[in-house]
Amino acid sequence: MSQLLSIEHLRKSYGQNEVLKDVSLEVSAGEVVTIIGSSGSGKSTLLRCINLLEKPTAGKIIFAGKNILEKNYSLPNYRTHLGMVFQQFNLFENHDVLMNCVVGQLKVLHRTKEEASTIARKNLERVGMDRFLHAKPSQLSGGQKQRVAIARALSMDPDMLLFDEPTSALDPEMVGEVLKIMKELAQTGLTMVVVTHEMTFARDVSDRVIFMDRGVIAEEGTPEQIFQSPKEARTKTFLKRILEN
C-alpha cells in the first residue's frame, strides 16, 4: 500500500497546555486506522489537526507527498481530499437530506446540479437513506442523521475519511446501524481514520490501532497485538477498564 498521509513530530498547545506531544504516524492508501484512548488524551485534537480545523503548533503533515503546512499549499485544495464525519453530525438543518449531500458538490467541486444530485442519491442509497431524500434533519433519528453525514462526505469523493467519535452521540440502539455502514466502507478499500470508543469496531474492522495517552501515541499495532498482547502497562490498564464496563 502506498503512503497517503504522514504526520511528523506534530505538536499542539492551547496556551501552556500541550495536548499533542511529538506525534508521528503514517496512513497508507486503503488502510483503516482507529485511534483509541482515554477522554482528553488528544484523539480529536489529532484528527482536527489532520484536516486543519486546528492549526498545529509544530510539525509536518505530508499528504500525497506534499507538506500541507507550507504557506504556498492551498488549504481549500487539501480539504477536497478529506471527508469528515463529526460526533454531532453537523448537518445543514435548513436543507433536506438530498441538498445536504448536494451543496458541497456545487460550491466546492463545481458540479452541475444534475450530476451532484445523481451522486448524492447513489451515496444515500449506499447508506440506506434514499427513502428520506426530502426529510429535514430534525425529522431524523441520530443514526439516520449520521448516515446522511456519511453520504454527504462520500459525495465529495474524498481520498480519506476522518471520523470523530461518530457513534458517541447516538442512543445505544442506533450505534449498530452506523458501525455497519462504516464496516462496509472499510471493506471497499476506503482510507479511514476513526477516533472511537467502540472497541469492537477497532478490534474487528481496523487494520491498525493507535492507542493515545496524554498527548502521545503510547502504542500502535494490529488489532491482535493491541487487544491480545499489549506491550505497554498503560494500554493494558485502559483496555481492562474499558472492556470491563
Ligand X SMILES: Nc1ncnc2c1ncn2[C@@H]1O[C@H](COP(=O)(O)OP(=O)(O)OP(=O)(O)O)[C@@H](O)[C@H]1O
Q: Interface with ligand X by CB under 6 A: which residues?
A: 14, 19, 37, 39-45
Which C-beta is closer to ligand X: that of 39 or that of 245? 39
In the complex, what is the shortest distance from the CB of residue 53 to ligand X, in angstroms, rounded to a whole number? 10
Q: Could you tell me if 144 and 133 are in contact, meaning their C-beta atoms sit under 8 angstroms apart?
A: no
CB of 151: closest distance to ligand X in angstroms? 24
Q: Which is nearer to ligand X, 27 or 120 (CB)?
A: 27
- The DSSP secondary structure of the chain, one letter per residue, reads --EEEEEEEEEEEETTEEEEEEEEEEEETT-EEEEEE-TTSSHHHHHHHHTTSS--SEEEEEETTEETTSTTS-HHHHHTTEEEE-TT----TTS-HHHHHHHHHHHTS---HHHHHHHHHHHHHHTT-GGGTT--GGGS-HHHHHHHHHHHHHTT--SEEEEESTTTTS-HHHHHHHHHHHHHHHHTT-EEEEE-S-HHHHHHH-SEEEEEETTEEEEEE-HHHHHHS--SHHHHHHHHHHHH-
CB of 43 to ligand X, least distance (A): 4
Closer Cβ to ligand X, 43 or 203, answer by number? 43
Looking at the Cβ atoms of 74 and 88, the one nearer to ligand X is: 88
What minimum distance in Å lies between the beta carbon of 41 and ligand X?
4
**CB-nearer residue toward ligand X: 67 or 87:** 87
| Least distance to ligand X, CB of residue 129, Å | 26
At residue 53, what are phi and psi to the nearest 5 degrees? -70, -25
By C-beta, is 37 or 166 nearer to ligand X?
37
**Shortest distance in whole angstroms from residue 40 CB to ligand X:** 4
